[in-house]
């Protein structure tokens, strides 16, 4: 079994809120994807020698709350030194998932 399924089974066995399990799993996955996206953008992994004197590098992160179906997740949005990185995972200035928006013109 994978770590995800093991944790899910533990959550179910302890009769905890399943939405909280999915929220924390989603938060971890989204933060990992944001870091991977920055690595792909820069063309090297953190602490890789290829990145030295490359002209652009990691420059910390800022936090953002993002509302999802399972609750609010805390995201750490990475930055690059030149300010060119814009994550494709999230819309610019987006604070909530599309599923939360109600279409008033049904």
User: Average pLDDT of each block of 10 consecutive residues along the chain (106 residues)?
Assistant: 76 79 92 95 87 86 92 94 91 78 53
pTM recorded for the entire structure = 0.80
Residue 75 in any domain: the answer is: yes
- Closest alpha carbon to 85 in 55, 43, 42, 49: 42
pLDDT of residue 82: 93
Identify whether 60 is part of a domain. yes
69: in domain: yes
Flag whether 66 is in a domain: yes
Q: Helices 18-42 and 3-13 meet at what angle, rounded to 10?
A: 160
Q: Indicate the number of domains in the chain.
A: 1
Q: Which domain holds residue 37?
A: 3-46+56-93
- Report if residue 61 sits inside a domain: yes
Instruction: Give the pLDDT score at 103.
Output: 52
* Residues 6+ positions from 7 with CB-CB distance below 8 Å: 21, 25
Residue 102 lies in a domain: no
> What pLDDT score was predicted for residue 102?
61
Report if residue 105 sits inside a domain: no
Domain presence at residue 40:
yes
Predicted local distance difference test score (pLDDT) of residue 55: 83
pLDDT on residue 81: 92
């Amino acid at each position: 079994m994978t770590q995800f399924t093991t944790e899910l089974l533990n959550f179910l066995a302890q009769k905890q809120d399943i939405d909280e399990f999915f929220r924390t799993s989603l938060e971890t996955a989204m933060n990992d994807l944001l870091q991977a996206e920055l690595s792909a953008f820069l063309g090297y992994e953190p602490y890789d020698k290829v990145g030295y004197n490359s002209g652009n590098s990691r420059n910390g992160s800022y936090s953002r709350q993002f509302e999802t179906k399972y609750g609010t997740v805390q995201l750490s949005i990475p930055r690059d030194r030149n300010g060119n990185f814009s994550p494709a995972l999230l819309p610019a200035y987006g604070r909530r998932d599309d599923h939360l928006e109600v279409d008033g013109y049904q």
